[in-house]
Chains A and B, each alone.
Chain A
Amino acid sequence: MTLSFGFDLSLAVLTLAVAGYAIGARESFASVVAFISYGVLLALVWVRLSAVDVALTEAAIGSGVTGALLIGAAAKVGEGAVDAPRSVRGAGRLLTALFCIATTLGIATAFLSLPEKAPTLAPLAAEHLPSTGLGNPVTAVLLSYRAIDTLLESVVLVFAVVGVWTFASDRDWGGRPESPGKDRPEQPLTFLGQILPPLGILVGVHLVWTGATEPGGAFQGGTVLAAAWILVMAAGLRKPPSIEGAWLRFALIGGPALFLGVGVAGFALAKAFLAYPEGHSKAFILVIEAALTFSIAIALGLLALGAPGRKGHP
């Protein structure tokens, strides 16, 4: 057993143990905290799989923003009454456990019996990389080869925001979501909310810019910007926006709209939907990424804030 495999093995055991705690913990708050640590450990696993882009996304979105969302929800709903239906017990629990073990064994068998020579699209992705002007093959897949997926994904984010807003009561429609912080935030938090956002904007823009050649990209950068925005609101420096604000709605759909516009313009410029004119791919991709980053940041922030509520009403 080599040293590097020993590291991978202990990382895998630790990740599974923390995931197990997130599932089995007695309190829901402890479960959410374990889930956040699990996300960070999982990001390390992704680095070990040479997927640094995914590691950044997992750390930022899978662990970070999801964690903020779940912690907020845990604080609001609490642990519930003691006499509430707790969970499946007795024979049903045993049967469920057996079924889940069977599922795991089935997937593991399927994975172990994959063909020896793995099918791969890496040679194709590498071959056409120069034509995109990019250096990061994952960004090339996201914004050039499979740009339609990314376009639809950015639309999914907008739909999710609309979906979350529909859970508002009728009388709260047009109001503001509740602030993620307390009514009177602690002074150290206010200090952090003043000093960290400029750094956050720097890091976010850097992640998008560097995403063309190195790991990074619009989603990772956008998440850092969203985190800076959420921190400013949690520190009580800005109120959450009213969902009827015209600028907010424009910012939310601006990125996907520009993406779609460039896609349609592809018919005229390069004779196909979402095709970029030859030799100018990189410039087009960077413009789309910049607009997309801003819209993703707004969408992620709004999703973390949730539906407009009573307390947030103007």
Chain B
Amino acid sequence: MNAVTLAGLAGAALIGMGLFGLVTHSHILRKIVAFNVIGSGVFLLFGAVARRGAASGLNADPVPQALVITGIVVAFSATALAVALLLRYFKEVGSPFLADDPGAGASQPDHERP
């Protein structure tokens, strides 16, 4: 057991935890947070793989690192899109929860006049 293995296992644990939160919560914001936890767990797995690839005087393989940097930025873009969708949903429905039955609880949007 060393620090790299520890990071890989922590990544696997984060993915499981995030998945549990994503499935069990009905508050949409909680789902978004859980989804971000899954994402960071995947990134951490990448980081452990990058550290395993240390060679030629570099402490870690730079290619997975660059991929993770790209990934973090794209994950933020997706989160911003999800939050915008949540805020619009909240404006229409008045609740941050996903309704059990699609259509139930969703009031008719009344202010979308041309």
Which chain A residues have a beta carbon within 8 Å of chain B's beta carbons? 4-5, 8-9, 12, 15-16, 19-20, 22-24, 28, 31-32, 35, 38-39, 42, 45-46, 48-51, 53-54, 57-58, 61-62, 65-66, 69-70, 72-74, 76-81, 84-88, 93, 96-97, 99-101, 103-105, 107-108, 111-112, 114, 118-123, 125-127, 137-138, 140-142, 145-146, 149-150, 153, 156-157, 159-160, 163-164, 167, 169-171, 217, 219, 300, 303-304, 306-307
Contact = CB atoms under 8 A, between A and B. Distances in A.
Contact of B29 (A5, A48, A70, A156): A70
A160 B78 contact: yes
Nearest to B99: A85
Contact of B66 (A66, A73, A87, A142): A142
A178 to B, nearest CB: 10
A50 B7 CA distance: 12
A175 B21 CA distance: 36
Contact of A32 (B17, B29, B65, B95): B29
A141 B66 contact: yes
B75 interface: yes
A108 B9 contact: yes
Given A62-B36, A122-B55, A122-B60, 4 more contacts: A69-B76, A108-B12, A127-B56, A164-B80
B95 A149 contact: no
Given A84-B95, A126-B56, A170 B34 contact: no
A97 B88 CA distance: 31
Contact of A16 (B5, B13, B84): B13
Interface of B: 1-21, 23-30, 32-34, 36-37, 40, 43-45, 47-63, 65-70, 72-81, 83-88, 90, 95-100, 111-114
Contacts of B67: 149
A14 to B, nearest CB: 11
Contacts of B45: 107, 111
Question: Chain B interface mostly helix, strand, loop or mixed?
Answer: helix
Nearest to B18: A23
A65 B76 CA distance: 8
Contact of B83 (A69, A137, A146): A69
Contacts of A66: 36, 75-76, 79
Given A70-B33, A164-B84, A85 B100 contact: yes
A122 B56 contact: yes
A107 to B, nearest CB: 4
B104 to A, nearest CB: 10
A101 B59 contact: no
